[in-house]
Every structure is written in structure tokens, then in C-alpha cells.
Amino acid sequence: MHYESGSEGAVKIVSWNVNSLKVRAELVGLYLDEVAPDVICLQELKLATDAVPTELFTERGYQVAVHGQKQWNGVLIASKSPLTDVQLGHPPAEDGQSRFIAATTAGLRIVNLYCPQGQRVDSPKFPYKLAFFDALIAWIQGTHHPGDDLIITGDINIAPAARDIFDPDGYAGVPSFHPDEHARLKQLLDWGLTDELEAYLAPNTYTFWDYRGGNFRFNKGMRIDHFLVTESVHARVTDGWMDRPWRKKRGDLKASDHAPVGIALS
């Protein structure tokens, strides 16, 4: 289902892998003008920190924190409320890549992630992905409590279940749908997080479609962009959505291969 504004009077929080903010800046500006989220978390900026067009956000009344990297990766959080306790990166997980940013805003601790994809099981990128999650889990367990107002969001790069991937049999054991990844996601959920969008999105509702092969047209996608929230946040959620229309080209503006996802909090 598509919601462009969430629930009336709610705090709207959006996550979006934009696949190059340099390419997608005008599209992101249009989204901010039309949807006006209170908080937006972007991934895959593909820009060094000092090259990120922060005025795109500040001119619209947002505070912004950026953890960029030239050509690859990169994450940011922009909020209409002040950002405090900003943490740019988590070296044990990132290992030199810009994939982690955290900040507190409007009483919420938000961790925005661009998790590794893993490529192939026989690639060194797959053990890197598993190590990223191991370090992330250890950090969450060591620095947070399930009673905190905590949101883990971003491109998590794991499709949790068969309902979240267009060909579960064909992708069984493949990165983004591998049992070792599912085990780590279960660790996060067992610690005290809820996969918030699961309840709001119908089965076979996806957030990512490869550009190739008409995958978007034929809905051959995966649900890999998530909001994982603690119980106190879960109790406040009034809505959740995936903005599929923003995966489509808008005039001359080309879309990312991900759609924005969002939650609304009372």
C-alpha cells in the first residue's frame, strides 16, 4: 500500500537507499517537498562527506548529519528536530567503509545502516557481511537496552522470509536470503526488536527491484529495507508503508532501485 504522508499529526520517519545522492538530489528534494517526513535516513550516498549537498536539507528546515565516502556507500540522517549524540561510523563493523550513522532526535535513538550485500557465498564480501552483523549485534547488546526508544533502519540487505522475496526457492542460500543472515537477524529480533513493516506490508510487497530484466515491471523484488524497533517504539507506531510510486521515473528524474519505506509514530 502507498502512503505519501502517513497518519495525520504523526511523526513520519523514512528510510531510502537513493543509489547516489549526486544523481538523485533533485528527486530527493521533490520527495522532501511532497512527503515532508520529519526524519529521513538515506543510504548509498556515493559522495564524500564534504561533497554531500547538505543545503538540500537545511534549506527545508532539517538538521543533517553525514557519514560519506567517495564513490561508495555513505549514510545520513536529516531531522526537523535537533540531532544530538551523533555517531559517525562504527569501525569494528564498517572496516573502513561508511555504512553506519546514529543520532538522537525527538527522543528517539536512530541507527541508520547501509549493510553489505555480500555478493556471493564464495566471495570475501560475504564473510565481511556476516562480520558486520556480528559487530553490530555486539554493539547493540553492549550499549543499549530493549527498554530504550531505539530504531534500527536502513538498507539491511536481508529478506527475512519467503513472503519477502520473489523467488525464495531460487534464492535459497544466496546472499540476502541466506540462513547465516537469517540467524543474525533473529538475534536482533530476539534481543528485543520488532520487524515493524512486516505487519503493514502484504506478502510479496518489496522494497528493492534490480534495474535489469524488467524486474520492477514484473515485481521481481525483495523486502530488504527495514525498520527494527524496540517495544516502546512499536507501541507508538500507527502506520507503515512502502512508497512504490517513488521507484518510478518522474519526468526526466530517474529512480533509485529502492523505494522509500516509512513508519508513523503517535
pLDDT for 1 equals 33
- The Cα 56–Cα 32 span in angstroms is 9
- Which of 38, 155, 164, 225 is flagged as catalytic? 155
Residue 213 confidence (pLDDT) = 87
Q: How far apart are CA 131 and CA 173, in angstroms?
A: 17
Task: Note the pLDDT of residue 8.
Answer: 58
Question: How far is it, in rounded angstroms, from Cα 69 to Cα 45?
Answer: 8
Active site annotation includes 257: no
Residues (pLDDT < 70) of the chain are 1-8
**11-265 placed in CATH 2.60.40.10:** no
44: nearest Cα among 222, 262, 238, 224: 224
133 touches 139 (CB < 8 A): no
pTM for the model stands at: 0.96
Distance CA 190, CA 205 (A): 24
Q: Which triple of cell numbers denotes residue 236?
A: 507508538
Catalytic residue among 31, 38, 62, 114: 114
| Residues in Cβ contact with 262 at an 8 Å cutoff, skipping those fewer than 6 apart | 3, 6, 12, 13, 14, 15, 37, 240, 241, 243
Query: Is there a catalytic annotation at residue 169?
Result: no
pLDDT at 4: 42
Share of the chain above pLDDT 90, in %: 96
C-alpha to C-alpha distance for 27 and 23, rounded to whole angstroms: 9
Please report the pLDDT score of residue 9 as a whole number.
Answer: 74
The full length of the chain comes to: 266
**Structural contact between residues 62 and 78, judged by C-beta atoms closer than 8 angstroms:** yes
Q: For the chain, what are the domain ranges?
A: 11-265
CA atoms within 13 Å, Cβ hemisphere of 9: 2
